[in-house]
Amino acid sequence: MKLDKKEAATLNNAIQHWVTTQTISPELASKLHNSYEIKNSNVDTITWYAFISAVSCGLLAFGALVIDEKWIELLRKQWEFSEASVGIVFTLIAGTFIYLARKRYLKNPHSHISNESYTITIALSMAVAIAYWSRSFGLLEDSHYGSPLLIATLTYALVATFLPSSLLWTVALFALVSWWVAQTYQWSGGHFRFAGMNYPLSLTLVGLFIWGSSWVIEKIKPLYSFERVTYVFGLILFLLAAWQLSIFGNYDDFERWSNIKQQTLWYWAVGFTIVIVGLTVYAFKIKNELLRDICLVFFLLNIYTRYFEYFWDRTHKGIFFSILALSFWWVGKKAEQWRSQEK
């Protein structure tokens, strides 16, 4: 059942009153809370787009100031500041915004989108601070990024838990995956295969691990609010890496892969198809809309990938793209019908 915010607030207050007066049990109250969801209003949509715009502008401004102009390096060299001094300055900036963000969260815990706007500056300041601290301690010698990325992962995760912030938790997950890629590259001596696995196969297992960890996070009180973010991140990483695995197999050399026929990797394609079909059927069975929608996207992506692999060289290009156009139209029409039935 979908309710607007006012209806949900009224129902939530009623449930709390019933629990307080022992009219219903806490178990029944939990079931009632899970029986409805809040509809997104137009104001929520506008707020969300405004937040996305703020994030985009913040990233562009950071890129223009720090990456393109390199003003930090110019000032550091002009005033003869050490790299540690720059690290201290940006650590203080990040600490100040962490304090302000925590203060705002305690005052307005339900203003998730506006609260997250503080974390943009926190994330960028922490990135600069970690980079300069790593340089000052010599952790970036020989382009070894494993240690700085591990430090970033732990730092972002701790700050995300303290605030709490889904955005910083997402950054921590990205840093974790980046650390794994950089570290395995270093462990393998500069090769693209570690423990007999290329990157698509390795990241498939990492995605499966992160996705599975969302059920553990759900049981941990300080982290339970990150369960959904971890679930989505792990699921998308798992399916995206598995999709790449269905294309490249376990090859770690592009030239060797280019010289084989794609049909020889059929078992990877079949394996991915079985996984995605199984997850899609399971999602429909348990009525998990999130899992269903993500799996349907990758199910379609899998179909079109196989279509490109096996029919690109055998079909006239006009007919090829006509079939694609008709299929996309049909998918869009069916998706619209499903959405109408749900309403």
- Out of 159, 174, 189, a domain closes at 189
* Residue position matching structure tokens 């562009």: 60
* Inter-residue contact 116 to 161 (CB < 8 Å): no
Burial 182-205 (b: 16+ CB within 10 A, else e): bbbbbeeeeebbbeebbbbbbbbe
Closest by Cα among 130, 180, 135 to 159 = 130
Same-domain status, 254 and 183 = no
Q: Would you say residue 323 lies in a domain?
A: no
State how far Cα 101 lies from the chain centre.
Answer: 22
- Out of 168, 189, 210, a domain closes at 189
Q: 126: domain range?
A: 47-189
Q: Would you say residue 342 lies in a domain?
A: no
Question: What are the backbone angles phi and psi of residue 139, rounded to the nearest 5°?
Answer: -85, -10
Q: Would you say residue 330 lies in a domain?
A: no
Alpha-carbon torsion (129, 131, 134, 138), positive or negative: negative
Helix (H) or strand (E) holding 145: none
Helix (H) or strand (E) holding 262: none
Q: 71-78 vs 83-107: helix axis angle to the nearest 10?
A: 130
Q: Would you say residue 140 lies in a domain?
A: yes
Can you give the pLDDT of all 343 residues of the chain as single tens digits?
Answer: 665 556 666 767 777 777 777 777 777 776 666 666 665 555 555 555 565 666 566 655 555 555 544 666 666 777 777 778 888 988 999 999 999 989 888 887 777 766 777 788 888 889 889 988 988 888 877 667 888 999 999 999 999 999 888 889 999 999 999 999 999 998 888 888 888 899 999 999 999 999 999 999 988 877 778 999 999 999 999 999 999 999 999 988 888 888 888 778 889 999 999 999 999 899 989 988 889 889 988 988 888 888 777 776 666 667 766 776 777 677 667 666 665 655 5
Same-domain status, 31 and 79 = no
Question: 109: burial class by Cβ within 10 Å (0-12, 13-18, 19+)?
Answer: exposed
Q: Would you say residue 213 lies in a domain?
A: yes
Same-domain status, 254 and 271 = yes
State how far Cα 312 lies from the chain centre.
Answer: 32
Same-domain status, 175 and 267 = no
Q: Side chain identity at 145, as an amino acid letter?
A: Y
Q: Would you say residue 324 lies in a domain?
A: no
* Inter-residue contact 120 to 54 (CB < 8 Å): yes
3-state secondary structure 276-296: HHHHHHHHHHHCCHHHHHHHH
d(Cα 64, Cα 231) in Å, to the nearest integer?
A: 33
Same-domain status, 114 and 205 = no
Same-domain status, 57 and 105 = yes
Same-domain status, 208 and 160 = no
Q: Would you say residue 76 lies in a domain?
A: yes
Same-domain status, 71 and 185 = yes
Same-domain status, 156 and 229 = no
Structure tokens at 205: 């297992």
d(Cα 320, Cα 310) in Å, to the nearest integer?
A: 11
Q: Would you say residue 318 lies in a domain?
A: no
Same-domain status, 294 and 219 = yes
- Out of 189, 212, 240, a domain closes at 189
Whole-number average pLDDT of the chain:
80
Residue by residue, DSSP assigns 89-116 as HHHHHHHHHHHHHHHHHHH-TT-HHHHH
Per the structure, how many domains does the chain have? 3
Per-residue pLDDT at 62: 57
Question: 116: burial class by Cβ within 10 Å (0-12, 13-18, 19+)?
Answer: buried
Alpha helices (runs of H) in the chain, residue ranges in sequence order: 5-20, 26-33, 42-62, 71-78, 83-107, 112-136, 146-162, 166-187, 199-217, 227-248, 254-258, 266-286, 289-311, 317-342
Same-domain status, 62 and 151 = yes
Same-domain status, 82 and 14 = no
